[in-house]
A = this chain, B = another copy of it.
Amino acid sequence: MVSERGLDVLRAIVQDYVASREPVGSKTIVDRYSFGVSAATIRNDMAALEEDGLIAAPHTSSGRIPTDKGYRMFVDHLAEVRALSTAQRLAIRTFLEEGADLEDVLARTVRMLSQLTNQVALVQVPVVPRSYVRHIELVVLSASRLLVVLITDAGRVDQRVVELPQSDHEHLDELELGELRARINGALVGRLIVDVAPALTALAEELSPTRRAVLERIGAALAATVDDRRQDRLLLAGTANLARTERDFPGSILPVLEAIEEQVVMLRLFREMELDDRGVSISIGRENPLIGLAETSILAGGYRSSAGEVARIGVLGPTRMDYSQNIAAVRAVARYLSKLLGEE
Q: Which residue of B lies closest to A238 (CB)?
A: B261
Bound complex: CA A254 to CA B104 (Å): 26
Q: B231 to A104, Cβ gap below 8 A?
A: yes
Stretch in A71-79, A86-94, A240-248 with 4+ CB within 8 Å of B = A240-248
Whether the Cβ atoms of B240 and A107 lie closer than 8 Å is: no
Contacts of A252 in B (CB 8 A): 243, 246
Count of chain copies: 2
For residue A325, CB closer than 8 A to chain B, the reply is no
A29 in contact (CB, < 8 A): no
Report whether A100 and B231 are in contact in the complex, using a CB–CB cutoff of 8 Å.
Answer: yes
Enumerate chain B residues within 8 angstroms of A231, measured Cβ to Cβ.
100, 104
Report if A258 contacts B (CB, 8 A): yes
Q: What is the interface size of chain A, counting residues whose CB is below 8 A from a CB of the partner?
A: 19
- In the complex, whether A239 has a CB less than 8 A from a CB of chain B is yes
Which partner residue on chain B sits nearest A252 by CB separation?
B243
- Chain B CB within 10 Å — which of A100, A231, A257 has the most? A257
B239-A257 in contact (CB<8A): yes
Q: A100-B231, A231-B100, A231-B104 are in contact. Are A243 and B254 (CB under 8 A)?
A: yes
> B residues within 8 A CB of A100?
231
Q: Are A261 and B246 in contact (CB under 8 A)?
A: no
**Does A237 contact B254, Cβ atoms closer than 8 Å?**
no
Tell me the complex Cα distance, A243–B240, Å: 11
Contact A257 B237 (CB under 8 A): no
- Which of B244, B246, B261 interacts with A239 by CB under 8 Å? B261
Provide the A299-330 mask, 1 if CB < 8 A to any CB of B, else 0: 00000000000000000000000000000000
A132 shortest CB reach to chain B, Å: 15
| A254 contacts B244, C-beta separation under 8 Å | yes
